[in-house]
Copies of this chain bind each other. A is one copy, B any other.
């Protein structure tokens, strides 16, 4: 066994059953070794931002570590923006980066760069395998770090020659500790706060899923607390027969208004909310007058804490919605009509990847009574996550429909992921919200007092000259595509897409 095989077998033993890669010459022993590890599915991405974003989507849906295989510093740098999102999502990812052969590196070949430094910008844990004999142990340590609750991307650097060196057998799977249980005093303090009234709850991680969310719903109903989900949740379960959590507002003034009348915000698996950007005269930390109170941190057992809190409050009444999504209105598409059509037509158990940005808000509002579904959001704000996340989620859950609700400007960052969707036959339906501008930036320009932007400001926010043709782009990557302009056309296109297998793209002109 060589270092490469020891690495992959160790990763496989920890449940890493997929490898998103764009390898180069310094990763060839790992590429060759993959052919001896059938438990890891090799998935080629045409750009490394696709690797890291897809790994994030896979890890969010499985809870298991996803592998990436990246070529040297530039390959890792290309993956970094979506690793930033994965870091904020707390997704377990093992990024394996090849390096030049040990004797070759000191000569500073052209492709050499400071891999450790790039890795440290997106990973708390950066390890390098010092020899073939140590590969299995170092890999196990990297996986242990990736899986320590609540999870994180880690970087594992392995030089070309080390991959080929003889190695000991694969390491046993890393020890992973379960998330810690929140102490009774903390639960009791939260119970007192909510009993006093005028409370609100902000759920994240285990609080946004299954048992935890269900308990949060009971607590909110029993204490009349307002229930919020994070503005950008790594994963949120919602829809019919689940509790309804409002999305915490994006702009600080909206958040201030939502928090008016609330005394304390109880945090269940979510960080204390911070405005996405700082604005003059607006607060950075978005909490009510009484501040926030942490029931459970992201690294703790959030679901259990919420169940304990529900017990302490004797909150037994299930509080789930039995609403249905409203009927779509007919006519030319805008974000409201688009949201209504999608909410009305989305199939049972869908996974919605939401990088719709300025176009997606109405869908969120309209879909609280849609069939049960998951939402994966842009956790770190680095645009270009949507199409890769959808690809990874679809590979993780082949029996579910994935819908990428995708802004056009951000979608163009990593459109190469469409090709991976075609190659792997993933059931992803991408809806491109084609407003042909960086609309959010136009909004921000107006907020900053530039109501009438000059030519430079227009050049940087307008995508219409020429308008990208998403139907052509999708077909260029092997994905069937349609353009729609009305509610009726969108409804028909979605019905067709959901009936068929494999990826589809619908360009919705807004």
Contacts and interface: CB of A to CB of B under 8 A. Distances in A.
A179 interface: no
Interface string A172-210: 000000000000000000000000000000000000000
Contact of A104 (B25, B111, B275, B379): B275
Contact of A109 (B34, B277, B453, B456): B277
A316 interface: no
A125 interface: no
A475 interface: yes
A110 B21 contact: no
Q: Which of A285, A382, A448, A460 is the most central at the interface, judged by chain B CB atoms within 10 Å of its CB?
A: A460
Given A104-B284, A466-B478, A109 B23 contact: no
Given A74-B84, A84-B77, A100-B278, A285 B110 contact: no
A122 interface: yes
Contacts of A44: 459-460
Interface string A85-102: 000100000000000110
Nearest to A100: B278
B88 A81 contact: no
A44 to B, nearest CB: 5
A380 interface: yes
Interface string A282-322: 00110000000000000000000000000000000000000
Interface in A380-400: 380-384
A400 to B, nearest CB: 23
Contacts of A75: 81
Interface residues of A, number: 97
A418 to B, nearest CB: 10
Nearest to A159: B278
Interface string A355-372: 000000000000000000
Given A25-B444, A277-B100, A476-B469, A121 B113 contact: yes
B77 A121 contact: yes
B457 A32 contact: yes
Interface string A463-480: 101111111110111100
A23 B448 CA distance: 15
Contact of A422 (B25, B34, B49, B466): B466
A260 interface: no
A423 B465 contact: yes
Contacts of A445: 28, 31-32
A337 to B, nearest CB: 25
A58 interface: no
A468 B104 contact: no
A384 B108 CA distance: 21
A499 interface: no
A344 interface: no
A274 B109 contact: yes
A278 B103 contact: yes
A25 B275 CA distance: 13
A100 B28 CA distance: 41
A419 interface: yes
Contacts of A383: 74
A101 B274 CA distance: 13
Contacts of A409: 46
26 contacts: A28-B441, A31-B453, A32-B448, A32-B450, A32-B454, A32-B457, A34-B454, A34-B456, A47-B413, A77-B122, A101-B279, A104-B275, A104-B284, A111-B277, A111-B380, A111-B382, A117-B117, A117-B120, A419-B466, A466-B478, A468-B476, A468-B477, A469-B477, A471-B476, A472-B472, A476-B476
